Amino acid sequence: MTDLPAAAAILTACGLDASLLTGGSLAVHSPIDGSELARLTETPAAAMPAVIARAQSAFAVWRHVPAPRRGELVRLLGEELRAAKADLGALVTLEAGKILSEGLGEVQEMIDICDFAVGLSRQLYGLTIASERPGHVMRETWHPLGPCAVITAFNFPVAVWSWNAALALVCGDPVIWKPSEKTPLTALACMKIFERAAARFGDAPEGLAQLVIGGADLGAALSASPDVPLVSATGSTRMGRIVGPEVAKRFGKSILELGGNNAMIVAPSADLDMAVRAIVFSAVGTAGQRCTSLRRLIVHHSVKDQLVERLIRAYATLPVGDPRAATTLVGPLIDAGSLARMQTALERARADGGLVHGGRTASGAPQGGAYVEPAIVEMPGQTAVVREETFAPILYAMGYETLDEAIALQNDVPQGLSSCIFTLNLREAEEFLQRSDCGIANVNIGPSGAEIGGAFGGEKETGGGRESGSDAWKAYMRRATNTVNYS
Ligand code: UN1
């Protein structure tokens, strides 16, 4: 029994008709039951120069549109997203396998970033700087950059595009989007929504927001082109190692949002009720497939047994199954490959002396999907498998004695996205915030569920990029220092 209409009705509600969904070579499957949703026509790599040229033509027009007027287009996009929220959220569930509330939550993030960007369109402020020369003034001014490529992953199939696109559009940049091959339908649906906003806006140039569907060769074309000054790429560290150097080779700019291996330190004074809720939410939410998912629990020896026992009990009550049912909390992994990687990681953890709780294939879930019980693994130490990001619901628990030791463990991984501490001790909290090496460091709240208002991203192998809120917009613009002699 599901609480969503059938797949065909969801696709139709999102404006995706049969002519769009058939006749191509890219098969799109639902992680819910493995059923085929569509066979899409892919963008040939040979078409990329024309796509980029269209974006450049759009740029020639859009850069001269006053920024608050550009904001009006994003305001309309936000309105259209509000109207389409239920349908697009349902499609996220169908195509990415997220539970209903997460599908809707993702669309809400899109709406929020549109609101943020509308305000920003009147606040692209520069500085005035005191000149050392008499009769001179110095200013810093911000200018549109040019076409921005956005490469996104399956796990946030629509929100990540909007974090980039809403900012890029108000900053004066056209956008070329290459979504994951696993989730192109939600991208097509977003384009329909964008087209409605553009039609209401009236005179947005053709080619302002484009979508290309296909594999790594399209990403390679975008990364290599000097006519695409900015490439914002979200995905694995492996992908970032290809895209980053390729863009750098031609002195382009990139925003990289790569792997995370996020930890929570639980100190002796922690409010354990609060910690348990935060751990479950951030470790099993989106079936452990967020880049901000909690993967490592670093717990003081004095509370470790008690906390792990409570977590094992909480995990045993988690409803794993069809993400379309309102009662489900853990949906499927994206595909069988993901499940196999999870099982391999659990095997390696066992071989390292880990004690695995859960992690079995879930019973009673729809056939054809990769459903698994989230796992907690008590580890004797931070072995190689713990230091890797496995994109699945595995939570490694380790003990510590001193805060120094805990922070050292937290930092001793190649990734640096999100981190947190649960403590009621102000000294410990501040000490942690000074010393966590991550882009996100929290106190008494888990590592996932970042609000759009903050700059989102991380250090080390996470790639160093920042997108979404705060002053992340500056990456989408070109800065000029102007000196004017009026003497
Ligand atoms: C991601 O997994 O790519 O903080 C981003 C969060 C979400 C974003 C996750 N707002 O969990």
**pLDDT tens-digit readout, 282-295:** 999 999 999 999 99
Examine the pLDDT at 1 and tell me if it is beyond 70.
no
CA atoms within 13 A on the CB side of 196: 17
**Pocket of ligand 1 contains residue 180 by CB under 6 Å:** no
Q: 439 pLDDT band (50/70/90 cuts)? A: very high
How remote is the CA of residue 452 from the centroid of ligand 1, in Å?
10
**Is 438 annotated as catalytic?**
no
How remote is the CA of residue 224 from the centroid of ligand 1, in Å?
27
User: In the structure encoding, which two tokens stand for residue 224, read together?
Assistant: 């290599």
Q: How does pLDDT run across 227-252, given as a tens digit for each residue?
A: 999 999 999 999 999 999 999 999 99
Average of per-residue pLDDT values in the chain? 97
**Is 14 annotated as catalytic?**
no
Mean pLDDT of 459-482: 98
**Pocket of ligand 1 contains residue 205 by CB under 6 Å:** no
How remote is the CA of residue 21 from the centroid of ligand 1, in Å?
29
CA distance 65 to 74: 13
Percentage of residues in the chain having pLDDT higher than 90: 98
Q: What pLDDT sits at residue 231? A: 98
Q: 5 pLDDT band (50/70/90 cuts)? A: confident
Which ligand 1 atom is nearest residue 418's CA? 4
**Pocket of ligand 1 contains residue 290 by CB under 6 Å:** yes
Which ligand 1 atom is nearest residue 293's CA? 11
Q: Which residue in 296, 383, 372, 388 sits closest to 340, CA to CA?
A: 372
User: In the structure encoding, which two tokens stand for residue 23, read together?
Assistant: 């006749």
How remote is the CA of residue 202 from the centroid of ligand 1, in Å?
33
Residue bearing the bigger pLDDT, 224 or 1: 224
Measured from the Cβ of residue 23, the count of other Cβ atoms closer than 10 Å reads: 11
Mean pLDDT of 461-477: 98
User: In the structure encoding, which two tokens stand for residue 110, read together?
Assistant: 């899109």
Examine the pLDDT at 2 and tell me if it is beyond 70.
no
**Pocket of ligand 1 contains residue 210 by CB under 6 Å:** no
Residue 83 contacts residue 208 (beta carbons within 8 Å): no
How remote is the CA of residue 180 from the centroid of ligand 1, in Å?
16
Residue bearing the bigger pLDDT, 364 or 242: 242
Q: What pLDDT sits at residue 4? A: 75
3-state secondary structure the chain: CCCCCCHHHHHHHCCCCHHHHCCCCEEEECCCCCCEEEEECCCCHHHHHHHHHHHHHHHHHHCCCCHHHHHHHHHHHHHHHHHHHHHHHHHHHHHHCCCHHHHHHHHHHHHHHHHHHHHHCCCCCCCEECCCCCCEEEEEEEEECCCEEEECCCCCCCHHHHHHHHHHHHHCCCEEEECCCCCHHHHHHHHHHHHHHHHHHCCCCCCCEEECCCCHHHHHHHHHCCCCCEEEEECCHHHHHHHHHHHHHCCCEEEEECCCCEEEEECCCCCHHHHHHHHHHHHHHHHHCCCCCEEEEEEEHHHHHHHHHHHHHHHHCCCECCCCCCCCCECCECCHHHHHHHHHHHHHHHHCCCEEEECCECCCCCCCCECECCEEEECCCCCCCCCCCCCCCEEEEEEECCHHHHHHHHHCCCEECEEEEECCCHHHHHHHHHHCCCCEEEECCCCCCCCCCCEECCEECCCCCCEECCCHHHHHEEEEEEEEECC
Residue 338 contacts residue 370 (beta carbons within 8 Å): yes
Cβ neighbours for 333, distance < 8 A, ≥ 6 positions apart: 31, 97, 287, 289, 339, 342, 370, 371, 372, 392
How remote is the CA of residue 134 from the centroid of ligand 1, in Å?
50
Task: Kindly name the residue from 102, 257, 373, 467 that is annotated as catalytic.
Answer: 257
Q: How does pLDDT run across 75-128, given as a tens digit for each residue?
A: 999 999 999 999 999 999 999 999 999 999 999 999 999 999 999 999 999 999
**Pocket of ligand 1 contains residue 98 by CB under 6 Å:** no
**Pocket of ligand 1 contains residue 421 by CB under 6 Å:** no
CA distance 88 to 290: 19
**Pocket of ligand 1 contains residue 442 by CB under 6 Å:** no
Q: How does pLDDT run across 261-273, given as a tens digit for each residue?
A: 999 999 999 999 9
Percentage of residues in the chain having pLDDT higher than 70: 99
CA atoms within 13 A on the CB side of 451: 6
User: In the structure encoding, which two tokens stand for residue 469, read together?
Assistant: 């809120």
**Pocket of ligand 1 contains residue 158 by CB under 6 Å:** no
Examine the pLDDT at 3 and tell me if it is beyond 90.
no
